[in-house]
Structures are given as C-alpha cells and as structure tokens.
Amino acid sequence: MSGFRWLHDYLAALEGEHVVLREEADPHTLPPAHRLMVDGEDWGSAAKVSAAFGHRHAGVWGEHIGDWIIVRACLAFEGDYLVLETPVSPQRPVLPSHSPYYSGIDRLERHLQDMLGVAFLDHPDSRRWTRHQAWPEGSYPLRHESPASGTPPKRTPADSDYPFVEVLGSGVYQIPVGPVHAGIIEPGHFRFHAVGEDVLRLEQRLGYVHKGIEKIAEGRDPEGLARLAGRISGDTTVAHTWAACMAMERAYDVSVPPLALAIRAILAERERIANHLGDIGAICNDVGFAFAHMQCARLREQWQRGNQSVFGHRLLMDRIVPGGVFRTLTYQCAELLKTQNQDLSKELDSLLPILEDQPSLQDRLANTGVLAAEDARRLGVTGYVGKASGMDYDVRRDHAYAPYDRLTVESPCLSAGDVAARVQVRASEIRHSLGLLNCLMENLPKGPVQAEWTQPAKAIEGIGVVEGWRGEIVTYVRLGEDGRVQRFFARDPSWFSWPALEQLIHGNIVADFPVCNKSVNASYSGHDL
Amino acid sequence: MLRILNKIRRIGIVTETPPRDREIEALGKTVRRHIDRRFRGSLAIRQVDAGSCNGCELEIHALNNPYYDIERFGVHFVASPRHADALLVTGPVSRHMETALRRTWRATPAPKIVIAAGSCACDGGEFGVSYASCGAVENVIPVDVKIPGCPPAPADLLKGILSALRASTSTQGK
C-alpha cells in the first residue's frame, strides 16, 4: 500500500478542474478508503481527473437517505481506495455520467438508474439494465417509498421488447440464446450477430436472476447479512461473506482474532482452488478434451469432500461469521488439510504438464478469445481475466488485508489475453494458493476464533475489499443505530468481466463461445443481485 | 499420449456405488426397475436455474463427476425441455425468470415430473417472496418432489431424484 502518496497531486488536479470539495464529509470515516464529497455538477469532472491519473473505477452505487440520494463511486489506485460521494435530489435526480471516462462502469450506472432512478447525463446507453418487467418504469425498488414486497404483476411477463442493437448487412444473422441455457448453467440471454461462423457482435442481456438482494438486506442483523452475502454467488460464498463481515467489522472497529483470520484465508484459498480446478476441466471439455475434465472433476470432488469433513460444508457456506469464523480447527482437521495439500500438489505435478504439453489442446486455446490489454484496462477487469491481459493487480498483495499482510502473495500476470493465458493464470493461482495454504497451516496462531461483537448505538458504515477467486470484491455496508443494515452493496468482479466477454468474442467463431465463456466464467447471480 | 494413457490406467475407475446405506440400496433397485419399465431404461432431466445463487448448480454438476456418475443409473441431463421427462428446478423463482420457467414447463412433454432442488426452490430460502422473487418453485409451477439443503449434496440430489421417480411411478399405477 502506498498510503495515498498521490492524493496531494490529485487534490491539486481537482482544484485545477474547479471541482469543489464539500467540507462536511470527514475523509477518514470510511477506512481504509479516503472519502471526498463533491458537488453533483462536478461528478463528471472528478471522474475525468481520476481517469487522467490512471485510477481504476471499482464501482458506483447509491442510497436513499432521508431526503437525499447519496451516490458513491469507488476508485482504486496504487493499492489505495478513494470513495467519491455526492448528494442528488430525488426530485431532480440527474448526474453527469462516469461512463465517458470509464466504459466498464456503464452497467453499474444503468443498475443505479433502474434501482434508484438516477439519470446519467452523457451516458452512451440509457436503456434499462437490471429492470425487466417485474416493476414498472418510474418505480425504483431501492427508494424509501418502495416496500421490499413491491407490487408485482400477478404474472411477470417476459421482457420481450428489450431493444437490442441490430447489426445490419448482407448475410448477417442473429442467434438468440437463453435465458434457459442448454447446460447446467445460470440463466441469461446472449444475442449473437454473426456472418457465416464469425461473431460480429455479442450483446448480453442479464438481470434474469435479480433477487432483490440489496433491498432484502435492509433491516437484517449482522448474522443475517453474512448469510445473505454468502448467497450472492454460491461459488464465491467465502469471499462475499468475508467482504461483508470485513465491512461491518471495520464499521464497528471489531478486531478479528488472528486464528479466525487464518481460517478465513484457508477457506478463501480452498474456494479459489476448487473453482479453478472445476473450470480448467470444463474449459478443456469445451474443446473436446474429456480426459482433463474428468481428472479435474475428480480432484475437485476430493477437495469438496475435504471441505465437508473439516468444515462441515462442501461449498463452505456460513463458515465465516461476523467477528470471526464458526468454529476452530482441531489438530486432526489441520492434519487432514495438510495431507490434502500434499496430495493435490502431487496430482497437479503429473496432471498440469500433460495439459501444458498437449499440442492439440494448446492449439485450440491459444489465440482464442483474446482480450487486449487495452480493453482490460479500459474496462477495469480484475482477477484471472485481468491478470491474463496485463492487469497486474491482486488485493491480497496490493491492498493487503490480514492475514495476507504477513504472507508473501505471488500473483501471475501475462499479456497474451487468450483462453490459454487465462488457464495458465488459473493454474498458477492454484499453485500459489497451495503455497499460501501450507504457509498458513505451518503458522496457525492460537487463541479464540470469535471476537466479542460490540455494537455502539450509532449509525455507522464500512467498506470491505477482498480478492475473491474471480477478482476484487468491494462491499459497502451501512448500519443504523439499532444495529440493523440500512444499505448493503456488494460489487462482484463479474460487473467488469461480463463486458470483457463481449469484447473478447469478436472475430471468434460461434462454436468457440462456450470455451471463451467458461474461461471468463463471470457470475450471473453475483452480477444480477 | 502415453502419459495420458498411463494416467488413466493408474487412476482406474473411481466411480462409487451409492453410499452403502440400506435405504438407498433398496430405493436404487426399485427405481432402476421403475426406470426400466416406465422410461425404457433412461430418465431425461432438464435442469432449470430459475434464480439460484449457482450453489445448487455446482452440486448438480458434481452428479456427473466420476464419483457419482449418475448416468450409470439411467439418468441423464438434456439440453431441451422437449427431450425431458423431468425438470430439476433450482433457486427461488426470480420474477424475471417466471415466464421462462412457465414456458419451459409447458414445453416439457408428460409426465413432466418437477423436482424442486435446494432450500430456495423448496420454500424461498434466504430470499423469500419480494418485489423481485416469487419464492418457492411451487408458487409458479406444480412441484412433485422437494429436495431441501443449501445446497443439497450430490447424494441428497440422487436420493431426491430417485424418490421422485418412485412417487411418479406409484401415481401412474393408480
């Protein structure tokens, strides 16, 4: 962490752009992020300055508090996080858009538009995004006046008149896919425009699994929020729960015991390994290499069984709780985990070289689905999708949170940006995670696994940033005086990897969409909320 | 190539017989008989995620891994509801998926056994009914069998599928 060495120059640049910083916000109330409050009319200029500085946009969300809608944007630079804030009047909810400077933020702004009714000026695309037909235009679920139960129609019709962008030209045809897909996959709609076999354009239509997570989080106690966060995306249950708990713990200044932090990291690395194993196999399967699919599925199953016997849950749901973890690690369990690490290492020593040296496999994966470094940077993609395209960022290393601040986190970074590179990044992340697990197991601290949960009776807020297996997760929580959640927003890395998929499929053949898609494996549920 | 063959030879077949508990053994035998008689040896399932967090999908995937290898019981997953004997539905039904789920159900030929898999599909789970969620699957389409669990483990899914078969066969016999 650089400790905001750049902040002074940034503030000077804001002044140069005549951005007025409002005094009422204390910049240190959202640690470790730095908070700045700007006027609505300067919202776009602030983003312009950030873009010129090379900040990465890490998300935008809003909240209806009292008579105002507060919009917040999170920007990341050199391992520091900056939160910009501006009040918007619900009567005239208009803001300049950040999308002209950050194209990756497009859908989050449209989500905010659908959920809170904030209209963005200069936004390149003002079509609805999260809203289909469950609530009418002009009604906003996250406003005070909208109850969580809503007033849904007796039967919600399909969103059949969504205006897709059309590609015209001789020989151009459309392929509509979804929302119910052919495999055992989450639902969403893909609209391909193709000529012959080549994809000219892919347009995604998501929001099918929108479950109102942000709204139903309201009024929950910390335990209830942790449970909900663990179900934002079932494959990322550990990382999302951790991020939500971290935000609440920072808000209440609860310090989590060292042993609990170590167990959290063990859970998170095990989740990373399980998902990478499954996906590497599935990617190989999508190009017809069933051998790898079966071998990886076998290893994943063994790994999940280890989760069951040591932690009592195959996907590790609800193992992280506010203030710590659900239970301690017994000596026998620790030994079992160590054995599993050794076994998996040995297995990978024989399996991974087979994949790497298989010309017929590499021939299919190399140069397929290339995400240019420029696109990755423009969209602000993190995780393995970013790392395979030159985005050298890992929260565990660059914005190290406990217990990673005491560990050496290695993070691979490649430049090819193709499916092969994403597989390579995932394979080396598995290796590094195994190394971290060994290190954690060797130096397990002693002591309790639950901090005492003290809840001062005041409204408070916190931010949690965690490296999930897909990349950076940013979570914001605000709690009321009664200790109940008033606002919860979890930004899954998929918000940025979905648009990356639209980019990297260009020029590929339709039949390679599954392997490209699997190599990105963005979350539908984590995105739709 | 030799390395691949060698690896395959050394690993051998890891597919397990279902957990050796009497209930499953007995159920398995009966069900195999029912599948043979009623579905000519194969039951086709169309899985529909109607709003799940993807946890249930991971465990349904696991049914196809070499440890469970559900196809050996004559159960396989198909790409179209028109090919399916049964729907395996997960998630609370999001309102945005409501029509898609109804259409999928309508496209499925009889007997269209519907199995609701996972706590959310059974009773709405952590999400319940809201402006965005219809809650349990039975609020949208008729459900024959429910498999609770968050998510149900592969063995539970297997048991649920088997008991759905038994229930449906006995209904038909009446």
Do you find a cis peptide bond into A153, omega within 30 degrees of 0? no
Nearest CA in chain A to B48: A180
Q: How far apart are CA A61 and CA A83, in angstroms?
A: 11
Taken in order of first residue, the domains within chain B and their CATH numbers are 35-173 (3.40.50.12280)
Tokens of A35: 């908070």
3-state secondary structure B5-21: HHHHHHHCCCCCCCCCC
A-chain residues within 8 Å CB-CB of B49? 184-187, 209
Residue A486, H or E segment: strand A485-491
3-state secondary structure of A515: helix
Q: CA nearest A7: which of A38, A39, A49, A44?
A: A49
pLDDT digits (tens, 9 = 90+) for B97-125: 999 999 999 999 998 999 999 999 999 99
Q: How far apart are CA A454 and CA A441, in angstroms?
A: 30
Q: How far apart are CA B12 and CA A237, in angstroms?
A: 33
Q: What one-letter code names the amino acid at B7? A: K
Taken in order of first residue, the domains within chain A and their CATH numbers are 7-121 (3.30.460.80), 172-205 (no CATH), 213-528 (1.10.645.10)
**Measured between alpha carbons, how far is residue A203 from residues A122, A193, A497, A513 in Å?**
21, 8, 14, 13
Neighbours of A291 (CB within 10 A): 19
User: In sequence order, which residues have a C-beta less than 8 Å from that of residue A425 and are 6 or more positions away?
Assistant: A384, A387, A388, A412, A413, A414
Which stretches of chain A drop beneath a pLDDT of 70? Answer: 1-2, 24-25
Tokens of A77: 């630079």
Distance, C-alpha B21 to centroid of its chain: 20
Phi, psi torsion values for B131, nearest 5 degrees: -60, -25
CA quadruple B135, A319, A316, A473: dihedral positive or negative?
positive
A-chain residues within 8 Å CB-CB of B67? 298, 301
Q: What angle do CA B128, B129, B130 make, to 5 degrees?
A: 120
A-chain residues within 8 Å CB-CB of B99? 155-158
Q: CA nearest A294: which of B15, B158, B59, B156?
A: B15
- Using the beta-carbon criterion (under 8 Å), do A134 and B96 form an inter-chain contact? yes
- Using the beta-carbon criterion (under 8 Å), do B132 and A134 form an inter-chain contact? yes
Mind giving me the DSSP string for B145-156?
Answer: EEE-SSSPPHHH
Tokens of A511: 């039949």
Tokens of A516: 């490209």
Neighbours of A236 (CB within 10 A): 33
On whether the CB atoms of residues A219 and A204 are closer than 8 A, the answer is no
Q: How many CB pairs under 8 A join A and B?
A: 171
Burial class (CB in 10 A: 0-12, 13-18, 19+), A294: buried
Q: Look at residue B19 in the predicted model and tell me its pLDDT.
A: 45
User: In sequence order, which residues have a C-beta less than 8 Å from that of residue B121 and are 6 or more positions away?
Assistant: B50, B52, B56, B89, B90, B91, B92, B136, B137, B146, B147
On whether the CB atoms of residues A484 and A223 are closer than 8 A, the answer is no
On whether the CB atoms of residues A153 and B132 are closer than 8 A, the answer is no
Q: CA nearest A305: which of A277, A331, A328?
A: A277
On whether the CB atoms of residues A241 and A230 are closer than 8 A, the answer is yes
pLDDT digits (tens, 9 = 90+) for A239-255: 999 999 999 999 999 99
B-chain residues within 8 Å CB-CB of A209? 49, 51-52, 91, 94, 96-97
Q: What angle do CA A44, A48, A50 make, to 5 degrees?
A: 115
**Measured between alpha carbons, how far is residue A229 from residues A203, A239, A248, A475, A497 in Å?**
28, 9, 12, 10, 20
- Using the beta-carbon criterion (under 8 Å), do A155 and B99 form an inter-chain contact? yes
3-state secondary structure of B136: coil
User: In sequence order, which residues have a C-beta less than 8 Å from that of residue A279 and are 6 or more positions away?
Assistant: A426, A518, A519, A521
Q: How far apart are CA B71 and CA A182, in angstroms?
A: 18
Burial readout A160-198 (b: 16 or more C-beta within 10 A, e: otherwise) = eebeeeebeeeeeeeeeebbbbeebbbbbbbbbbbeeee
pLDDT means per 10 residues, chain B with 174 residues, are 83 61 58 78 94 97 87 88 95 97 96 95 97 97 96 91 77 49
Residue A383, H or E segment: helix A383-387
Name the minimum distance, in Å, from the CA of B55 to any CA of chain A: 4
User: In sequence order, which residues have a C-beta less than 8 Å from that of residue A275 and are 6 or more positions away?
Assistant: A235, A236, A469, A521
**Parallel, antiparallel or unpaired: strands A56-65 and A34-37:** unpaired
On whether the CB atoms of residues A451 and A324 are closer than 8 A, the answer is yes
Q: How far apart are CA A313 and CA A320, in angstroms?
A: 12
Q: Look at residue B85 in the predicted model and tell me its pLDDT.
A: 93
Q: Look at residue B18 in the predicted model and tell me its pLDDT.
A: 46
Q: Look at residue B1 in the predicted model and tell me its pLDDT.
A: 78
Q: What one-letter code names the amino acid at A246? A: M
On whether the CB atoms of residues A67 and A498 are closer than 8 A, the answer is no
Which of A141, A210, A298 lies at the smallest CB-CB distance from B96? A210
Q: CA nearest A400: which of A376, A436, A446, A346?
A: A436
- Using the beta-carbon criterion (under 8 Å), do B132 and A210 form an inter-chain contact? yes
- Using the beta-carbon criterion (under 8 Å), do B96 and A133 form an inter-chain contact? yes
On whether the CB atoms of residues A21 and A83 are closer than 8 A, the answer is no
A-chain residues within 8 Å CB-CB of B55? 231, 234-235, 237, 315, 317
